[in-house]
Amino acid sequence: MPDVVSLIRVKRDSVRPLTDAEIAWLFAAYADNAVADEQMAALLMAIYFNGLDAGELRAWTTEMIASGETLDLSRLTRPTVDKHSTGGVGDKVSLILAPLVASCGAAVPQLSGRGLGHTGGTLDKLESIPGWRASLSNEELTSALGQAGAVIAAAGAGLAPADRRLYALRDVTGTVESIPLIASSIMSKKIAEGTSALVLDVKTGSGAFMKDREKAEQLARTMVGLGEEHRVRTRALVTRMDTPLGRAVGNALEVEEAVRALTGDGPDDLMEVTFALAEHMLQLAGLSADPREAIASGRAFDTYKHMIRTQGGDPDAPLPAARYVRGALIAPESGWITRLDALAVGVAAWRLGAGRARKEDDVSHTAGVRCLAKPGDYVERGQPILELHTDDPARFAPAAEALDTSATFTIGTAPPPTAPMVVSVISAADVADQVGA
């Protein structure tokens, strides 16, 4: 029988890969509290430095899935497909995408999370809608999915519970930034939710968790490989996150923008990412519908309203608005905006109250930032580039400090060159050598 100290030494010294049996024993012993948190933390640090090979990662993810329940969506008559984003600034794509793809004939069981730091959480955004609730039982979730075709909800406590314990340890031991641990954390929950297909939106750039494109693509390949190994048709799009996506950053502000997008008035960059993801989701689901037509016809917006109502929300109710609004980032000269840093804007929104520093913190539904100008827009001298929203005027000063840097924005004499929002697409064929390794 293995012992945890020996396994720590094996990973610490890179003696050999851990076997499937050793990993299975480890997770069972940890669940029974026979392995202490400090011992698991030591192993996580060894993995942080030395990684997991393909076989170890497959077994590690399998045990995380097996630590809890798996949703059974086989009774649904529609093909199931989901999407996951690694998070960014102004990333309200899920609010548009889930009802959009559902309106094209798929069932979209989107289990989402809450924001932490400068990246917003989908559940936090939707909770700005009066009456809407994130927590659904498995029976309520499948019922809502059958009615509306799409559901956005919190992952239940029974899905991959080992991930919750491990993430808490990683968060306090500096081992979050490990590609195999990130990949297994995300994919264990997505596989456990029972979807047949999955499209990943892996962000790269200043406002993304993975700022480096090469690392973002490595994470994307790892997650696609894990999905395919667990019989979930998986594809990843690596997309840009140097500039806020759309023009709204903050919970109610982003819901408002998502509604406009669903009625045909979405910003170009937001719709480019949304339509790209929708097309890949529909391909994996085996559907040939046109997502642009679903928006133009009003079908996607109708599905959105149905989705909100099935979770207790009122899609026609006014959204909360901030008590205080102030212009910021005054253009020092006339010219073309050539850069607007996503990270600085995200931190400003966080400091205004839109985000949280700790998981238990509350967020403000009304706080956030509206981008009055973005790269490619012409501004006049003295024009504010951003608009800050908050219910607490004392928050304006720390938000302004986050924006007070020469790297936040630049103005040029000509518009910047345009670049596609989708950097690369990674499919099962691109990781075929990893699958089954």
Q: Which residues are catalytic?
A: 84, 163, 170, 185, 189
> To which residue do tokens 């306090």 refer?
172
Q: CA 375 → CA 122, 141, 205, 242, 247, distances in Å?
A: 25, 40, 15, 11, 11
The answer to whether 176 and 87 have CB atoms below 8 angstroms apart is: no
* Strand positions, DSSP E, 205-242: 233-240
For the chain, give the number of residues. 437
CA angle 83, 107, 420 (to 5 degrees): 35
Helix spans in 244-395 (H): 251-262, 268-285, 291-296, 299-310, 342-349
Those residues with Cβ within 8 angstroms of residue 87's Cβ, 6 or more apart along the chain or in another chain = 115, 119, 120, 203, 208, 209
Distance of alpha carbon 163 from the chain centroid: 16
Query: Of the candidates 14, 17, 2, which has an alpha carbon nearest to the alpha carbon of residue 58?
Result: 17
